[in-house]
Amino acid sequence: MDFSSFITSLATSFIIFVILMMLFAWLCTKPGNAVIYYPNRILKGMDPWEGSRSKTRNPFAWIREAFSSTEQDVVKMSGVDSAVYFVFLSTVFGIFLISGMVLLPLLLALHATEKIPRVVDSTGKNAFDDLDKLSMAHLKERGHRLFASAATCYWVSIVTYYLLWKAYKHVSDLRAEALMSAGIRAEQFAVLVRDIPSSSEGYSTKQQVDSFFRQIYPETYYKSIVVTENKAVCKIYEELEDCKKKVARAEIIYGNSKEVNPEGVRPTHRTGLLGLIGKKVDSIEYYNKKITELTPKLEAAQKVTLKDKQQRSALVFFTNRVTAAAAAQSAHARMIDTWTVIDAPEPRQLLWTNLHKTFYEREVRQYVVYFIVFMTICFYMIPIGLISAFTTLPNLRKLLPFLKPILDITSVRTVLGAYLPQIALIVFLALLPKFLLFLSKAEGIPSQSHAERAASGKYFYFIVLNVFIGVTIGGTLFDSFKDIQKNPDSITQKLAASLPGNATFFLTFVALKFFVGYGLELSRIVPLIIFHLKRKFLCKTEGDVKEAWLPSDLGYATRIPNDMLILTITLCYSVIAPLILPFGAVYFGLGWLVFRNQVLKVYVPKYESYGKMWPHMHVRILAALLLFQATMLGYFGVKQFLYTPIIFPLPIMTIIFSFVCSKKFYRFFQSTALEVASQELKETPNMEIVYNSFIPPCMNADKVPEEQLNV
Amino acid sequence: MDFSSFITSLATSFIIFVILMMLFAWLCTKPGNAVIYYPNRILKGMDPWEGSRSKTRNPFAWIREAFSSTEQDVVKMSGVDSAVYFVFLSTVFGIFLISGMVLLPLLLALHATEKIPRVVDSTGKNAFDDLDKLSMAHLKERGHRLFASAATCYWVSIVTYYLLWKAYKHVSDLRAEALMSAGIRAEQFAVLVRDIPSSSEGYSTKQQVDSFFRQIYPETYYKSIVVTENKAVCKIYEELEDCKKKVARAEIIYGNSKEVNPEGVRPTHRTGLLGLIGKKVDSIEYYNKKITELTPKLEAAQKVTLKDKQQRSALVFFTNRVTAAAAAQSAHARMIDTWTVIDAPEPRQLLWTNLHKTFYEREVRQYVVYFIVFMTICFYMIPIGLISAFTTLPNLRKLLPFLKPILDITSVRTVLGAYLPQIALIVFLALLPKFLLFLSKAEGIPSQSHAERAASGKYFYFIVLNVFIGVTIGGTLFDSFKDIQKNPDSITQKLAASLPGNATFFLTFVALKFFVGYGLELSRIVPLIIFHLKRKFLCKTEGDVKEAWLPSDLGYATRIPNDMLILTITLCYSVIAPLILPFGAVYFGLGWLVFRNQVLKVYVPKYESYGKMWPHMHVRILAALLLFQATMLGYFGVKQFLYTPIIFPLPIMTIIFSFVCSKKFYRFFQSTALEVASQELKETPNMEIVYNSFIPPCMNADKVPEEQLNV
């Protein structure tokens, strides 16, 4: 990529960014869009525009608001997990900023002023374009200036260690503060018990759990909820809820029709398939009758479930936090495969269908899933290649003859011919995060947050291995495959020449990511359009409208691996092509700003894991650092730097640092320290409320339904 | 080794064994020797001969008694640790018995009936002597009979897995039963707290501990003992105790002298060096005066110590067992390096000087010790070689001229010349277990039992690596070093020929171990002689006599690694030379019988760790099995057996089995399951007694001294 196309690409991204910013500034002031730009505030019952006092609506007010918001605001509006995400963003921003302050002036000067003979590549052009002159490729082999590169490797590593250490401490404080809070959080009084052994004396699981825990905790044991097989009862419950919604909708339609005609037209529908065939009935009457039918049926089903469908798992409640925290950390039975006790997740993020899985089932599932993920990451190109090979136009014609008329249109054929091979890959990449989340849940993990962490970890390996290493090493090898065949020794030469070239590619990639990505993120064009379409054509009741604008959460499972990719790329090229550092810094700095706005005003977290994501991010930042150090080792080798061994201590330091951090901090992220749990509460907990909050909605007819409950 | 010398060696060992047995049968019936042969019974206040009802004293009564004793008797007389040692002995005996029942008839028949051409070795003799004909060396290379050897490898492995699984379960039951017992054991109500952070507000450690634990356990917290720096106070205490002993002795001497002379001679001594110089004083008066001087000094020192020498470690007491068990398993502070809480060891086995060591000090010490042990195991021959090289006779003469007259005696010179080189090695081997125990204590381990486990582990690696692998591989390579230099390919041939040869050596080694070792063990000739000498020449008071016969404990730190060596040897040669199996079986069977007697009547355990030694032994048995499987893999390779890969699954199975066992059972050995701790006690514990039992004797003048307390 030469300099002019680099500038073109950068300029295009920037223009898109500016347009999206302007769109945002204009759209977000319209009251009708408030539900898209301020849903988090609206759901918390606040005035959407409360931050900007004047109604003049300065289009850049959000920037001021974002900067003036404190960490406590974030915790209050969006929980500890979001605050931890900002710690991540600011830490990485800090790493790039402090590294850049030293690396940029030093290395750029050294690279640009190196005098080396003009190298001409195979096509006769100068091998170094303007950008490449600023990279390490421009340094002489075995030159003394390579010492500066080596020293900067140490600088980057030490900055990373220092900031990560500070960040881990800070996150640990955040977590402690949240867990110590005097407010009553139901999950702090509960533990999740799995692998309850089957009793021989014909006791029910409920009796077993009660007698077991009452013996151990005679004073602090409160009650238990035995996990039940809720499939049947949930089906009835959903049907009932559906009927209630439909009655509400039919009544609104009837009410609206009264405005036109004073008698009104009672809405009707057909009972058959999709409302198209069958007997025509009065909707309000029909659904009301169905509700009166279903209500006793639900109650009966609930009773049957409670009695006969008990599974070997339970939620156990204690009357104080210390006992619950200590219980979650103690072995209750002599064998690890019975009476496994862990911290209870929040009710809203419990994965009920996973709770009954036994210890051995979980172990086996885990290894099977690891194997599937390994195979997917390493060999995903094979099935995709096969699919694209088979979905050629002639094959499609043969296999799906009814598509023939469409395929015969020339323009369709041209487009399909060009894109068909990529479609399988695009579909795969779009579905992969969901597939990984599905696999993580299939491991038998009991909570949504844990499953997302697991999925995020898997996605990280996929992205780093395939995108980063694939593009860097694979691209280089593939490009020069023929040369290498002729002359195998040239491979190191090729790598040396192409690594800095790849840097330019990644530079534009990072820029595209933050300009277009953050532009779309902030302006929320896509959710806005979908919302307006839905409201116009689908929504009848207030509930429907609310459902149409309800925002999602931050989506850590895909967001963090993507950030990690940028982090890995920037770190790895930081010394080779230091020009990437400001781009990386802007990615994380701008990200901090944009997400500060989004978190305070838009996204509603689906769960709170009290920063359990952090150790996971910490380890992956260190993995990226290790990859950087390995890359540098390799690149110094390629540059025939005689003192390459002075880099050897770096990877060892990283491993020791990672070990020390995990030893020092990690245990508190696994379980709650008793010191923290023993802080006084502001009031005696009402245990009945704590207990009820864990009952799934389909088992409790009087309860408000929780959308997030995964039954 | 040929057949006749094998028989000679065996016969000699057996004759020694018979003589020792007869000595034992004769000596143990003499009442004066009861304190040597029945000290455990005497200390427990039982009649030494209570088992054998008739006073006819059948010399083989001990065998009947040993067989008729139950596991419960062992637990009652000697604790769970001893019972676990018997589980170990019987499990290994079972492995060898069941393996042998299949391997002996099958393999001996196959080996002996193989028809191969007569092989002549370099000296012209038949390469196979009578014993070697029974070994696998006698099988044809690539022969079909090797399939039988492979099958028996599976048989031995599966028998081992099965018996180990059963044993682990059984030991786990034993441990649970002991921990569940309704009796009050002080250590079950206490936890050991280390790494107490230094408080900024000027509180004492005591106040800090009290407020910290009272907040977390408001209802069950009882009291705490802060660990103090007791060196000064202990010195005074020991001096005082010494004076008390000397007064008692002087009074007895004075009393005895009255029998001769009605007025008596008041004993005197000199106050100077070793009682040889200085003023002559009346002993009784002198020591009594010293006691009256030291008593207030001790009290003052105790006060100072309690107040000013508090260290950052404490013992914390709870009023119930469940809280103590849960506390030992829970993280109390957010950082792992503060407020570390673990199970309290028994008072008698606390290593007080290790308690104050901080987390980082312990970590660093551990790695340093591992490094020293690694160096010792691998390179111990180097310093010994150097020492023996320097301690030649001419060197000794030069360096220590005053020895000249002795060294000039011809007979001394001959003996020293012959043995001097070995003396360094012998001294090293004798001191090694003590050195390893010292190193293990230097790691900062808080209890004696844990330190002995650690030392035993280190000794195991030393023994297996040096004795077994050294003799087998090293011996072979060394013997045939010159041949190999000529023809490097012959190395596998050499190994193939020499492995079974080594088997014969080990056969006699095992026989020597059990005949002579157990003979000495049972007859207790050495302690008997020492005791009678001491009583005659040194002992004055009753206490002196008791001190002279007080038995030691089983000494797991050296006993278990030695058993492990026999186990490793027998397992590794079980298929190659199945004749070793009966010898191994007799070693463990006879061991069971002899130690049943010794444990019930002789040894007094120094501590009770509730079977924590077992996981340690279990892992090492599996390590021996792995070594066996690796040896077989290598030997099949040497035999050019084409189907060697059918052995590959075996090591993998062993690793999986070890992983599953440690996952399933190990946690309960690390900490007490709450289910177990929650069993009801037969009475409400008197917390004051529990508390006092942990006060070191030098800090508590009113207390009976505990010999075992390691201050």
Q: How many angstroms away from the CA of B236 is the closest CA of chain A?
A: 40
Find the range with the poorest average confidence among A488-492, A541-545, A557-561, A599-603. Answer: A488-492
At residue B346, does pLDDT exceed 70? yes
Q: How many angstroms away from the CA of B614 is the closest CA of chain A?
A: 15
| Residue count (chain A) | 711
At residue A482, does pLDDT exceed 70? no
Residue B569 located in a structural domain: yes
At residue B174, does pLDDT exceed 90? yes
Q: How confident is the model at residue B552 (pLDDT cuts 50, 70, 90)?
A: confident
- Closest CB to A337: pick one of B215, B664, B676: B664
Question: Which chain A residue shows the shortest CA-CA distance from B678?
Answer: A216
> Are residues A394 and A539 both part of a single domain?
no
B388 touches A: beta carbon within 8 Å:
no
> Are residues A530 and A622 both part of a single domain?
yes
Mean pLDDT calculated for residue range A299-324: 88
* Runs of H (alpha helix) within A181-230: 205-216
Cβ–Cβ of A216/B665 closer than 8 Å? no
Contacts of A660 in chain B (CB under 8 A): none
At residue B357, does pLDDT exceed 80? yes
Contacts of A326 in chain B (CB under 8 A): 326-327, 329-330
Q: How confident is the model at residue A367 (pLDDT cuts 50, 70, 90)?
A: very high
Q: Which domain holds residue A143?
A: 3-184+481-680
Question: Which chain A residue shows the shortest CA-CA distance from B664?
Answer: A336
A418-445: per-residue pLDDT in tens? 666 667 777 787 788 889 999 999 999 9
Give the whole-angstrom CA distance, residue B631 versus residue B24: 41
Cβ–Cβ of B663/A336 closer than 8 Å? yes
B50 contact partners, CB below 8 Å, separation of at least 6? B41
Q: N- to C-terminal Cα distance for chain B?
A: 52
B373-383: per-residue pLDDT in tens? 999 888 877 77
pTM for the whole structure: 0.82
Residue B704 located in a structural domain: no
**Quick check: B650 and B154 in contact, CB under 8 A?**
yes
The amino acid occupying position B21 is: M
B176 touches A: beta carbon within 8 Å:
yes
Block residue for tokens 């009802």:
B53
Contacts of B337 in chain A (CB under 8 A): 664
**Quick check: B699 and B228 in contact, CB under 8 A?**
yes
Mean pLDDT calculated for residue range A686-710: 67
B493-544: per-residue pLDDT in tens? 666 666 666 777 788 888 888 888 888 888 888 888 888 888 888 777 777 7
Mean pLDDT calculated for residue range A677-706: 76
| Percent of chain B residues past pLDDT 90, beyond the cut | 24
> Are residues B158 and B281 both part of a single domain?
no
Mean pLDDT score of chain A: 83
Q: What is the pLDDT of residue A127?
A: 47
Q: Which two tokens stand for residue A154?
A: 């140490």
Give the whole-angstrom CA distance, residue A677 versus residue A179: 7
Q: In what order do the strands lie in the sheet with B221-228?
A: B221-228, B310-318, B190-194, B340-343
DSSP per residue, B469-496: IIIIIIHHHHHTHHHHHH-TTHHHHHHH
- Closest CB to A664: pick one of B326, B336, B664: B336
Cβ–Cβ of A675/B219 closer than 8 Å? no
B670-702: per-residue pLDDT in tens? 888 888 888 888 888 888 888 888 888 888 745
Residue B472 located in a structural domain: no
> Are residues B178 and B32 both part of a single domain?
yes
Q: Which helix (H) or strand (E) holds A194?
A: strand A190-194
> Are residues B172 and B71 both part of a single domain?
yes
- Cβ under 8 Å to A: B residues 466-505: none
- Closest CB to A671: pick one of B331, B335, B673: B331
> Are residues A661 and A533 both part of a single domain?
yes
B333 touches A: beta carbon within 8 Å:
yes
Q: What is the pLDDT of residue A705?
A: 40
A660 touches B: beta carbon within 8 Å:
no
**C-alpha torsion sign, points B303, B309, B312, B313:** negative
Q: How many angstroms away from the CA of A199 is the closest CA of chain B?
A: 15
Residue B342 located in a structural domain: no
Contacts of A664 in chain B (CB under 8 A): 335-337
> Are residues A518 and A647 both part of a single domain?
yes
Q: How confident is the model at residue A497 (pLDDT cuts 50, 70, 90)?
A: low
A351 touches B: beta carbon within 8 Å:
no
Contacts of B334 in chain A (CB under 8 A): 172, 176, 668, 673, 675-676
Mean pLDDT score of chain B: 83
Question: Which chain A residue shows the shortest CA-CA distance from B177?
Answer: A334
**Is B515 exposed, middle or buried, given 0-12, 13-18 or 19+ CB atoms closer than 10 A?**
buried
B299 or A421, which is more confident? Answer: B299
Mean pLDDT calculated for residue range B95-104: 94
- Cβ under 8 Å to B: A residues 186-245: 212, 215-217, 219
B372-424: per-residue pLDDT in tens? 999 988 887 777 777 766 666 677 777 777 777 777 777 777 776 666 666 77
Q: How many angstroms away from the CA of B567 is the closest CA of chain A?
A: 28
* Runs of H (alpha helix) within A114-187: 146-180
**Quick check: B502 and B469 in contact, CB under 8 A?**
no
> What one-character DSSP code corresponds to residue A196?
P
Cβ–Cβ of A668/B331 closer than 8 Å? yes
**Quick check: B581 and B484 in contact, CB under 8 A?**
no
Question: What per-residue string of b and e applies to A134-149 under the rule 16 or more CB within 10 Å gives b?
Answer: bbbbbbeeebeebebb
At residue A161, does pLDDT exceed 90? yes
Q: What is the pLDDT of residue B706?
A: 37
Residue B18 located in a structural domain: yes
> What one-character DSSP code corresponds to residue B710?
B
Q: Where do the DSSP E strands lie in B138-189?
A: none
A22 touches B: beta carbon within 8 Å:
no
B197 contact partners, CB below 8 Å, separation of at least 6? B312, B333, B338, B339
Boundary residue ending a domain (A383, A413, A439): A439
| Percent of chain A residues past pLDDT 70, beyond the cut | 86
Q: How confident is the model at residue B10 (pLDDT cuts 50, 70, 90)?
A: confident
Give the whole-angstrom CA distance, residue B703 versus residue B693: 9
> Are residues A126 and A60 both part of a single domain?
yes
Q: How many angstroms away from the CA of A447 is the closest CA of chain B?
A: 22
Hey, of B334, B610, B668, B678, which one would you mutate to test binding to chain A, going by the most A CBs within 10 A of its CB?
B334
B172 touches A: beta carbon within 8 Å:
yes
At residue B85, does pLDDT exceed 70? yes
Cβ–Cβ of A336/B667 closer than 8 Å? yes
Q: How confident is the model at residue B711 (pLDDT cuts 50, 70, 90)?
A: very low
Mean pLDDT calculated for residue range A510-514: 84
B560-592: per-residue pLDDT in tens? 888 998 998 899 889 988 889 999 999 999 999
At residue B233, does pLDDT exceed 80? yes
Q: Which two tokens stand for residue A392?
A: 């050629």
Give the whole-angstrom CA distance, residue B86 versus residue B596: 8
Mean pLDDT calculated for residue range A368-374: 93
> Are residues B411 and B521 both part of a single domain?
no
Question: Which chain B residue shows the shortest CA-CA distance from A175?
Answer: B334
B128-156: per-residue pLDDT in tens? 566 677 777 777 777 888 888 999 999 99
A176 touches B: beta carbon within 8 Å:
yes
Report the candidate in B632, B619, B634 with the shortest Cα–Cα distance to residue B669. Answer: B619
DSSP reduced 3-state for B661: helix
Q: What is the pLDDT of residue A52?
A: 52
DSSP per residue, B290-314: HHHHHHHHHHHHHHHHHHH-EEEEE
**Is B255 exposed, middle or buried, given 0-12, 13-18 or 19+ CB atoms closer than 10 A?**
exposed
At residue A505, does pLDDT exceed 80? no
B332 touches A: beta carbon within 8 Å:
yes
B22 touches A: beta carbon within 8 Å:
no
Cβ–Cβ of B216/A322 closer than 8 Å? yes
> Are residues B284 and B416 both part of a single domain?
no
Count of the separate structural domains present in chain A: 3
Q: How many angstroms away from the CA of B331 is the closest CA of chain A?
A: 5
| Percent of chain A residues past pLDDT 90, beyond the cut | 24
Residue B24 located in a structural domain: yes
How would you classify the pairing of strands B310-318 and B221-228?
antiparallel
A300 touches B: beta carbon within 8 Å:
no
Mean pLDDT calculated for residue range A84-100: 95
Question: No. of H helices and E strands in chain A?
Answer: 28, 6
Give the whole-angstrom CA distance, residue B346 versus residue B708: 11
Q: What is the pLDDT of residue A498?
A: 64
DSSP reduced 3-state for A350: strand
CB pairs under 8 A between A and B: 95
DSSP per residue, B72-92: HHHHHHH-HHHHHHHHHHHHH
> What one-character DSSP code corresponds to residue A601?
H
B254-278: per-residue pLDDT in tens? 888 887 777 777 777 777 766 677 7
Boundary residue ending a domain (A286, A304, A322): A304
> Are residues A420 and A516 both part of a single domain?
no
Boundary residue ending a domain (A375, A405, A439): A439
> What one-character DSSP code corresponds to residue A103?
H
**Quick check: B350 and B710 in contact, CB under 8 A?**
yes
At residue B633, does pLDDT exceed 60? yes
Block residue for tokens 């309960």:
B668
ipTM metric: 0.80
Contacts of A675 in chain B (CB under 8 A): 212, 216, 332-334, 339
B591-614: per-residue pLDDT in tens? 999 999 889 888 988 888 999 999
Contacts of A330 in chain B (CB under 8 A): 325-326, 329-330, 671, 674
B676 touches A: beta carbon within 8 Å:
yes
Residue A449 located in a structural domain: no
Own/partner pairs, A34-37, CB within 8 angstroms, 24+ separation? A35/A531, A35/A549, A36/A524, A36/A527, A36/A528, A36/A531, A36/A549, A37/A524, A37/A601, A37/A602
Residue A370 located in a structural domain: yes
Q: How many angstroms away from the CA of A25 is the closest CA of chain B?
A: 45
Contacts of B677 in chain A (CB under 8 A): 216
> Are residues B124 and B245 both part of a single domain?
no
Q: What is the pLDDT of residue A327?
A: 92
Q: Which helix (H) or strand (E) holds B178?
A: helix B146-180
The residues facing A228 across adjacent strands are: A310
The amino acid occupying position B673 is: A
**C-alpha torsion sign, points A669, A674, A678, A679:** negative
Cβ–Cβ of B322/A216 closer than 8 Å? yes
Mean pLDDT calculated for residue range A383-408: 71
Contacts of A676 in chain B (CB under 8 A): 334
A218-270: per-residue pLDDT in tens? 888 998 998 888 888 888 888 888 888 888 888 888 887 887 777 777 777 77
Q: What is the pLDDT of residue B35?
A: 82
Q: How many angstroms away from the CA of A692 is the closest CA of chain B?
A: 27
A667 touches B: beta carbon within 8 Å:
yes
Q: Which helix (H) or strand (E) holds B341?
A: strand B340-343
Q: What is the pLDDT of residue A302?
A: 86
B21 touches A: beta carbon within 8 Å:
no
